[in-house]
Amino acid sequence: MVDLARGERLQIMLTTEELEALDSWRFAKRMPSRAAAIRELLKRGLAAEGFMRALGGSKSEDFGVTGTSSPSPTHDRRDTKDPKSPPK
């Protein structure tokens, strides 16, 4: 059985445009809540891009939803010189 208890709360601020984009996607996909939609989008984004982490010095404003983010605020873990990282 999967434990669905969520012990951590994450608070984010969105612009009006970002919220409209989220709600449009949520309603089109018939998601039950904004939280469910955000979890699904996070899951899809991580699956599509692999595990991502922010580069040092990145700011919250570097990460937008509607295309206003900086060109490359994240760094793919596979790009590091970690010998355990799979090759590209």
Token digits for 44?
């899809």
Q: What are the φ and ψ backbone dihedral angles of 38, each rounded to 5 degrees? A: -65, -45
* pLDDT of the residue at 54: 59
Going from the first residue of the chain to its last (88 residues), give the mean pLDDT of each consecutive group of 10, the final group possibly shorter: 73 95 96 92 83 66 62 47 48
SS3 at position 68: coil
| Domain spans of the chain, in order of start | 16-79
